[in-house]
Structure 1
Amino acid sequence: MCRVTQLQQAILAKNDHHADGLRAALAARGTGLVNLLSSPGSGKTALLEAELTLARQRGVPVAALTADLATENDATRLARSGVPVKQVLTDGLCHLESEMLDAHLDGWLPEPTRLLFVENVGNLVCPASYDLGESLRVVLASVTEGEDKPLKYPTAFGLAQLVVVTKNDLAEAVEFDRETLLANIQRVNPGVEVVFTSTRRGGEGVGLLLDRALAVADGAPVHRPLMAAEAGADGHAHGHTHGHTHGHAHSHGNGPEHTHPHHDAHAH
Structure 2
Amino acid sequence: MCQTCGCALPDHLQHASNEHDVHTVEVLEGLKAHNDEVARHNREHFDRAGLLVVNLMSSPGAGKTRLLEATIEALGARYRLAVIEGDLDTENDARRIRARGVPAVQITTGSACHLDAAMVHRAAHALPLDALDLLFIENVGNLVCPASFDLGQHANVTLLSTPEGDDKPLKYPVMFRASDLVLVTKTDLLPVLDDFDVDAVAAHMHRLASAAPVMALSSKSGPLDAWLEWLEAGLAEQRRPAFHPVPPAEEACLLTRPQGLV
- TM > 0.5 fold call: yes
* Alignment check: 8 A CA contact 1:15 1:131 kept: yes
- Out of 33, 51, 76, the residue aligned to residue 53 of structure 2 is 33
Q: Deviations over 1:181-229 (max 9, x none)?
A: 221122224221111110233x22x2433432332232269xxxxxxxx
Give 3-state SS (helix, strand or coil) of 2:160's partner: strand
Residue 259 of structure 1 is matched in structure 2 by none
Where do 4+ consecutive residues of structure 1 move more than 6 Å?
Answer: none
Tell me, yes or no, if the aligned pair for 2:52 and 2:238 is still in contact at 8 Å.
no
Q: Which residue of 1 aligns with 2:151?
A: 132
Letter in 2 for 1:219: E
CA distance in 2, matches of 1:87, 1:107: 10
Alpha carbons 2:58, 2:158 under 8 Å: kept: yes
- TM-score (normalised: structure 2): 0.78
Contact 1:36 1:140 in 2 (8 A): yes
Partner residue of 1:188? Answer: 208
Structure richer in helix, relative to its length: 2
Bigger radius of gyration: 2
Report the equivalent of 2:130.
Answer: 111
Cα separation, 2, equivalents of 1:82 and 1:105 = 18
Shift of 1:179: 2.3
Structure-2 separation of matches of 1:207 and 1:6: 46
Distance in 2 between the 1:5 and 1:113 partners?
39
Q: Which runs of 5+ in 1 are unaligned?
A: 222-268
CA RMSD between the two structures: 1.8
Quote the offset at 1:110 in angstroms: 4.7
User: Given the alignment, which residue of 19, 41, 61 partners 1:21?
Assistant: 41
Structure 2 CA distance for aligned equivalents of residues 131 and 167 of structure 1: 27
1:6 aligned onto 2:26? yes
C-alpha separation in 2, matches of 1:174 and 1:14: 44
Q: Secondary structure at the match of 2:200?
A: helix
1:56–1:81 CA contact under 8 A, matched in 2: no
Partner of 2:235: 217
1:46 paired to 2:66: yes
Report the counterpart of residue 217 of structure 2 in structure 1: 197
CA deviations on 1:3-47 (whole Å, 9 max, x unpaired) are: 333332222121111111111121111111100000001011111
CA distance in 1, matches of 2:57, 2:126: 25
Runs of 5+ unmatched residues, structure 2: 1-15, 17-21, 240-262
Question: Percent of aligned positions with the same letter in both sequences?
Answer: 39
- Structure 1 CA distance, aligned partners of 2:52 and 2:108? 23
Q: What secondary structure is seen at the aligned counterpart in 2 of 1:81?
A: coil
Which amino acid is 2:232 matched to?
A: L
In structure 1, distance between residues paired with 2:69 and 2:34: 32
The answer (yes or no) to whether the contact 2:158–2:182 under 8 Å persists in 1 is yes
Q: CA offsets per residue over residues 62-88 of structure 1, 9 Å max, x none?
A: 111111111111112222322111211
Tell me which amino acid in the other structure corresponds to 1:120.
N
Task: With the length of structure 1 as denominator, give the TM-score of the two structures.
Answer: 0.76
Structure 1: distance between partners of 2:42 and 2:33:
14
- Which digits, 9 at most, give the CA deviation of each residue in 1:95-142, with x for residues without a partner? 111111111111433531011001000111111100110111101101
- Alignment size in residue pairs: 218
